[in-house]
Amino acid sequence: MSTKIKIEQDSSTEEKIKKAARKVFMQKGYAATRTRDIAEEAQINLALLNYYFRSKEKLFHEVMKEKMQQFFGILLPVINDPSTKLEAKIELMVSNYIDMLSENPDLPLFVLAEMKGQADNLIKILPVQKITSRISFIQQLKDKRPDINPIQFLMTILGMIVFPFVAKPAFELIAATNKNEFQNILQERKKLIPVWVKAMLKAK
């Protein structure tokens, strides 16, 4: 077997395993998942899975890193752009996040649930302090409203975006909405959240 073919096979098998791991971890969470579950989902034997990924923890770290970057990474291109004004950044952040979460509705619950028990590992995956200390969004907010804690501000925006996805089953039950109606509500929030946030910036 040529080196090129072996590399292609290795890459294909690794991706097959990670695809299966994404599905099983998202369905069961870390604690309830066995490596055997992932091997069965990938339709390979357990020995082969262990050859590519020595432990469940290592495989979970790969998947969690990917999901955390997907969950938080959408912020960085927007809030790190010094040429975009604060108000425009808020609009882009809200719109991009709602679109991404609409395509990945299970992502918030998975990330939030696993963050609870994996905090130390997540700090290594996402160097939050290093990121937040140099983003232009923070400086723009300080210039406009030095009395507002930037972390409080970001928490409020993300809460307004993410919470509807976390509580979607309850909202659908209480409001008696179907999938399409709930999606329409989310699209409406693209316009409403920036209005509410801009009102916060003006309030004293």
Domain boundaries, the chain: 3-54, 65-202
| 8 A C-beta contact, residue 144 and residue 86 | yes
Q: Terminal CA-to-CA distance of the chain, rounded, Å?
A: 71
User: If DSSP states are collapsed to H, E and C, what string results for 64-82?
Assistant: HHHHHHHHHHCCHHHHCCC
pLDDT per residue, tens digit, the chain (204 aa), is: 554 444 445 668 889 999 999 889 888 888 888 999 999 999 999 999 989 888 888 888 888 778 777 777 777 788 888 889 999 999 999 999 899 888 888 888 777 777 766 655 555 555 555 455 557 888 899 999 999 998 889 889 989 999 998 888 887 777 767 778 888 889 999 999 999 999 999 887
Tokens 């409406």 correspond to what residue?
188
| pTM exceeding 0.75 | no
| 8 A C-beta contact, residue 118 and residue 175 | no
CATH assignment of 3-54? 1.10.10.60
Q: Which residues contact 190 (CB under 8 A, 6 or more apart)?
A: 94, 95, 98
